[in-house]
Amino acid sequence: MLTWNAEASTLFARLKAMLYGYFAVSGDQEQSASCCLCGYIAEADDWASFDQAWKKLLVDSGNGFEPAACLYGTDVLQSGDIVRRQALLADLSGVIACSALSPIGAFVVRDHFSGLSSDDRALLAAEDIQSPLDVIFYDSMEQIINHVHEESEKISLLLDQESQSAAERYNRLFNKHLNRYLLGPHLMGALTFGNSRSCSPLQAAKLLGEAVLLVEAQELFPDQESASISEALQQMAEPIRKQGRFHAEDLRKLAGRLCLKPIRSTQDPSA
C-alpha cells in the first residue's frame, strides 16, 4: 500500500509539472538562404541545472554571450583565438547534451519555397502558410503541441526578441498556427519574449539555430568558404536538419498532406 501511494504521488506530481520552452528564430533576414525556429523544452529543475552549468562556462563573457559572434568570430570575438572559440562551443554543446533538454526545430530553404509550383503554393496558402516563416512556425507548433500532449503537461514559451517589430510579427505567427488546434490554447498560454543576452536557455536556442543554418549552408554551398564547426556542435544540429528540414520535396509533401487532411483547428494533436 505504501508503494502504491508513493507511485500515485509521483504520478500526480508529474501531471502537475510545468514545461518551459525557449526558442529563437535564425535567418529571418531576406538575404539568408534558410530560416529556422529552434529551441529546447524541459522542466524547471532541468533548466536550473542547465543554467548553472552554462553560466559557469561563460563566467568571463562580460556583457553576454552571442552565439552567432562565437560561431563566426565577429564583433568582440573577431580577434579571439579560434581554437579557444571552438573549445568553448564544444563545451557548451556538451552542457546541452548532458542536460535533460528536448530539442525541437524546423527550417526551410527560401529559394525552395519561392520555387514551388502555383498549385502547391495555393494548397499552402489555403492553410494560411504564405512565407518561409509560416512554414517553420506551423511545423514547430505541431511539434511542441504533440510533445506537450504526450507528456500530459502544459508549457510556457519564451521566444528571443530581436526587435519590437519582429516580436509583433512572431506573435501573430504563433497565435495563427497555435489556434489551429483545439487543445493549443489549453496546453500553452500567451507567447512571451526575452533577450538572449541575459538568458541562458535563449542563448542555447540561438546557438542551435545558428548551427543548423551553418551546417545547412555548408551542404547547399560546399565550395564556399564558411566558419568551421566543432563535431559536438555538428552532432547537436544534425537531428534538427534531419527531422525539421523543409527542402523542395518536403514542401511539396507538406502541400499534399494538407490537401488530404481535415482542417487542423478541429483536430486533437494526437490524431
The neighbouring-strand residues paired with 36 are: 26, 107
Task: Output the pLDDT for position 63.
Answer: 63
Confidence of residue 12 (pLDDT cuts 50, 70, 90): very low
Task: Output the pLDDT for position 245.
Answer: 67
The neighbouring-strand residues paired with 34 are: 109
Asked whether the beta carbons of 16 and 203 are under 8 A apart, the reply is no
The residues spanned by each domain of the chain are: 18-266
Task: Output the pLDDT for position 270.
Answer: 46
Asked whether the beta carbons of 148 and 155 are under 8 A apart, the reply is yes
- How does pLDDT run across 103-161, given as a tens digit for each residue? 999 988 898 888 888 988 898 898 889 999 999 999 999 899 988 988 778 899 999 98
Which option is the CATH number for 18-266: 3.30.420.10, 3.40.50.300, 3.30.1490.190, 2.30.110.10?
3.30.420.10
> Which position has the higher pLDDT, 157 or 6?
157
- How does pLDDT run across 85-105, given as a tens digit for each residue? 888 888 999 999 999 999 999
- How does pLDDT run across 167-213, given as a tens digit for each residue? 899 999 999 988 888 878 888 888 999 998 889 999 999 999 999 98
* Over residues 217-243, mean pLDDT: 75
Task: Output the pLDDT for position 80.
Answer: 55
C-alpha cell at 203: 542563448
Is the whole-model pTM more than 0.75? yes
- How does pLDDT run across 52-98, given as a tens digit for each residue? 999 999 887 656 788 888 888 775 555 556 777 888 888 999 999 99
d(Cα 80, Cα 96) in Å, to the nearest integer?
23
Task: Output the pLDDT for position 214.
Answer: 87
